């Protein structure tokens, strides 16, 4: 995977987040015809609005994996909140069988960062600053 640094007027960044989240009660919502395609379109639309690059997006029958490249102005909690809020509202309006659930997504999620430089390399770099 090629790393593309994102540039703004004041920053240069490379921030990749891996998100995993599930429907409430691990319901297999992506087995419903059309839900996965509509979900993917909605996430693409949201990411375009937020200036987020989608590296990978995959839905299994009862969970979602997203690998996103973001600007430093967005926190992981803001990103996942926007995606969950918007997809829940729209999918529940368009697929009536999803309205039986008290809410579409669980409140929890997994997030991890990805970077090209390991922790040990950064630690050595910082520790060696005075020696230069």
Q: In what order do the strands lie in the sheet with 110-114?
A: 53-60, 63-70, 15-21, 110-114
pLDDT over threshold 90, residue 124? no
CATH C-level class of 6-131: alpha beta
Per domain, the residue ranges of the chain are 6-131
Local confidence band at 12 (pLDDT 50, 70, 90 cut-offs): very high
Question: What b/e readout covers 7-20, taking b as 16+ CB neighbours within 10 angstroms?
Answer: eeeeeeeebbbbbe
pLDDT over threshold 60, residue 2? no
């Amino acid at each position: 995977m090629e790393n593309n640094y994102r540039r703004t007027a004041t920053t240069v960044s490379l921030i990749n987040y891996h998100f995993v989240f599930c429907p409430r009660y691990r319901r297999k919502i992506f087995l419903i015809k059309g839900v996965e395609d509509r979900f993917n379109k909605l996430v693409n639309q949201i990411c375009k609005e937020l200036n987020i690059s989608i590296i990978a997006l995959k839905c299994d029958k009862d969970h979602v994996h997203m690998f996103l490249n973001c600007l430093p102005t967005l926190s992981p909690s803001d990103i996942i909140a926007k995606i969950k809020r918007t997809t829940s509202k729209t999918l529940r309006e368009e697929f009536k069988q999803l309205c039986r659930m008290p809410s579409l997504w669980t409140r929890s999620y997994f997030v991890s960062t990805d970077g090209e430089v390991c922790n040990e390399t950064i630690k050595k770099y910082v520790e060696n600053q005075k020696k230069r």
